[in-house]
Amino acid sequence: MHKFINYGLLSFLIIICILSCKVSSVSEIKLHDHWSFKNSQDTLWNQASVPGTVHTDLLSLEKIEDPYYRLNEHGLQWIDKTDWHYQTTFHLTKKEISKEHIELDFSGLDTYSKVYLNDSLVLETDNMFRNYIVDIKHVLKTGDNILQIHFESPINKGVEKHDALGYNLPLSDNDLAKIGQVQGNKHVSPFTRKAGYHFGWDWGPRLVTSGIWKPITLRSWNHLKIEDVFIQQDSIGEKALMTALVEVDAIENSDTKAEIFVNGESIKTIDLELTQGKNNLSIPFEIENPQLWWPNGMGEQYLYDIEIRLTSNGFVDTKSHKIGLRTIELIREPDNMGTSFYFKVNGYPVFMKGANYIPQDVFLPRTKKEQYEHILSSAKAANMNMIRVWGGGIYENDEFYQLCDDMGLLVWQDFMFACSMYPGDERFLENVKQEAIDNVKRLRNHTSIALWCGNNEVLIAWESWGWKDKMTREQSKDVANTIWKAYNTIFHNMLPEVVANYDSARPYWPSSPGSDFGEKESFDKGDVHYWMVWWGKEPFEKYNTAIPRFMSEYGFQSFPEFSSVEKYTIPEDHNIYSDVMKSHQRSSIGNETIEDYMLRYYKNPKDFESFLYVSQLLQAHGIQVGIEAHRRHRDRCMGSLYWQINDCWPVASWSSIDYYGKWKALHYTAKKSFENFLISFENNKDAMDVFVVSDSLKPINATLKISLIDFDGTILKQQEEAIEVKENQSKKYISLLKNEFLAAVDSTKVLLKAELFNTENNTIITENILYLSAFKNLSLPTPKLTFSTTETTEHFIVTLKTKKLAKNVFLASGSNHNFSDNFFDMLPNTQKTVSIKKTESETLEMFTDKLKVITLVDTYDNLGISLLKQFTNRLKTAFGSR
């Protein structure tokens, strides 16, 4: 057999290969390895983790105890008054150092730092929210390069700025300077562009961090580099008309090919000329037959993969984004109730169902993708379509917003200002402007971003909490005017200008709430934070009449479940007035207010564990009243965002998911209350009105059935009505006259059950239960509750049966996973099946042995001694044990 080689063909193929090969213009290395750190006064370096914080590095070395355990937080306040140094070494070859541009990209330095490379100062920082990029080629050398970052104490720097200002800035009591042992109890948080909650909040500890909290990237490039891409949506119809706005840095003038790929397919190619330096390109393109992105519950979250590729002289650079096509508008128009405030998505008004979000840990680098997925998938599972990223935390990581894009969760995005007035000097203002530009540009390609909001509760504090008058009275009118001028500059000029210049298609709202606290006119326009329930001690029923145009904050507290509390306490702490439980409660009226409301609605629980459980029932009931009221009145109110979905440490708080990821009763209740279809009762003087609310975009024909049932299961009365449920509306369909339908019944022994059935297939769409007397007055039977357990490959299955009414059935297994349903009511002679994901190595026998099932009746103390026990505990707290 002969082998023939066509050398001409081979040469031709080699030439073609050479001509078609492209060299990536940009290369990157993450500098995460071989870091060490030390106190600035020490000589010994210790191993560090990057990204990380000083606190977590000390913790990993066992130089401090867990800051979240018992009272440990209080002994760690020295850390934020110390300067800390970090150091690493990276190696570069002669080839690597020959690149035309080499830079360091600092995604997040917390906060005051000086950066040295080979003993040369290359950067100073004073803002943890900013992205700093610095050219370092001139100080690099072949071989080992030493990178040092010196962090200055945020407290000491803050005190300097505080003292230099010459007047006092008003702020809320959330800056816990006393716990922080700050000189003169000075409140320094307004002066430092860092997460406000690090200085404390009424749900969080005082742990002021420093460190390299986001990645550091060593980036080198030749010829050209794409700095930024913004995929702008111009109009969406039969075609989506788009524009790619591309920022490019070029070494020299060059002919360049720009190519746009959509889902991997090249749809647009143009030739253009780059000039040396910065270039701003505008490349229009179209997407045929666009598929729209919809919020959760309204349709699919379709995302296009869009890539921009630039090629010049054999060098190529690319950037890609996942983009959802949708329109979003904030509609604020005069109407017969005031001025509307609602979001319209793809041309449809959307009732926003959701919660407020805070950072998931004080030590930010500890929050990984798994934690983001858990909280946001829990939001989606609870039928939410909006998350408010609150202004006292951080602009979240890209992973957070990508998950929101994927899950259909719109984001109300605050800028990072909360509950404080701020300085107005030129340096501070320029720092804030660059922070805003950095983050608007970083986040604007995310489909989920619905609105940019200037701040949290700053305007309302100035106008309605007495700050303006106090500044005028205690300092001077000139000082008050100076403070207001800074506010006006930041929130009415600078931030809206940044949004207009860099993300003009999205609305800007200067402050949340945008109306005055507690005043009637505030409910007719803008958004409202309603805190007369909790802070004002108003009953939950007040939610039925306090109906704003958009409720962006309201809430009530509860404790974590007992298995969570056990993780940060010891048995002697198990009293809500113990030092540890009070320390893990940061509201100034916290535990007393929970107890006060509990005794209004429930019988006093018999012990500590029961108190934790009933506190969750109390919270869930209160917020359910609010959600249903807002949704019944969707002709007026078009948003219900409760405070808050999550925690940043183990604590009694307003959250519906505790720090360890456990769903509280509120989260299970919100899941039901936020379903697309809701039946809701409204108790009026002479009648019990029954509403059906639909957030669906399609009408349905249905049967609405109302049953009056006693606690033994006997159906006393029933009423049915065939109805048409129209899309996107709330309507009263049945009015039950009290002197007829509810006549001659003992309200402590009956309930109303409402069911909505689909006429086409007779399947149940939704249901709801209403008790006719306060929970503490109900004559609840002891349920004959039994359960059995089985398993599948991935889940344990629990089947429960009851002969009597079982109220608020709670299953506890000690697992980190959540049951498919929990805290539910079981009517007499019914069966219910729930499941929970298996924990590794746990057998069915082990699970069954640990499983605990309780109901509300199990918390009762028939001997009536629990009030005496609580009184005794308070005496011990006040006077000490004898």
**Tokens coding 607:** 């012990």
Reported residue count of the chain is: 882
* Secondary structure letter of residue 171 according to DSSP: B
Q: What is the DSSP letter of 340?
A: -
Q: What residue has token string 């193929």? A: 13
**CA 426-431-437 angle, 5° bins:** 125
In sequence order, what are the residues at sequence separation of 6 or more whose Cβ sits closer than 8 angstroms to the Cβ of residue 481? Answer: none
Cβ 630 vs Cβ 575: under 8 Å: no
673 in Cβ contact with 642 (< 8 Å): no
d(CA 760, CA 555): 39
d(C-alpha 215, C-alpha 222), whole Å: 23
DSSP state of 489: I
Q: Which residue in the list 457, 561, 595, 675 is annotated as catalytic?
A: 457
User: In this structure, which long-range contacts are made by residues 819-823, counting pairs with CB atoms below 8 Å and at least 24 apart in sequence?
Assistant: 821/668, 822/663, 822/665, 822/668, 823/616, 823/617, 823/620, 823/665, 823/668, 823/669
**The two structure tokens encoding residue 133:** 């990029």
Q: List the one residue out of 379, 451, 367 whose CA is nearest residue 408.
A: 379
- Taking alpha carbons only, the member of 203, 202, 194 closest to residue 172 is 202
* Tokens linked to 401: 């917003």
Q: Is 845 a catalytic residue?
A: no
3-state helix, strand, coil in the chain (%, to 5): 25, 35, 40
Could you tell me the two tokens for 723? 């109805």
Query: Rg of the chain over CA atoms, in angstroms?
Result: 30
Phi and psi at 541, nearest 5°, equal: -60, -15
Structural tokens at position 305: 């993969």
Q: Do 541 and 32 form a contact (C-beta atoms < 8 A)?
A: no
Number of H helices, E strands in the chain: 18, 46
Give yes or no for a contact between 338 and 528, defined as CB atoms under 8 angstroms apart. Answer: no
- DSSP letters for 189-222: GGGSBS-GGGG-BTTB------EE-S-EEEEEES
Ramachandran assignment for 870, one of left (phi > 0), alpha (psi -120 to 50 degrees), beta (any other): alpha
Helices (H), 664-704: 665-673
Nearest to 154, CA basis, from 116, 110, 184: 110
Structure tokens that stand for 139 in this block: 């100080």
* Gap between the Cα atoms of 561 and 793, Å rounded: 28
| Residue 811, beta-bridge partner list | 853
CA distances (Å), origin 677, targets 387, 698, 726: 20, 11, 11
- Residue 856 neighbours by CB under 8 Å, 6+ apart: 602, 614, 617, 775, 780, 807, 808
Looking at 131-253, which runs of residues are DSSP E strands? 132-135, 143-151, 211-212, 216-221, 224-236, 239-250
Residues forming the active site = 457
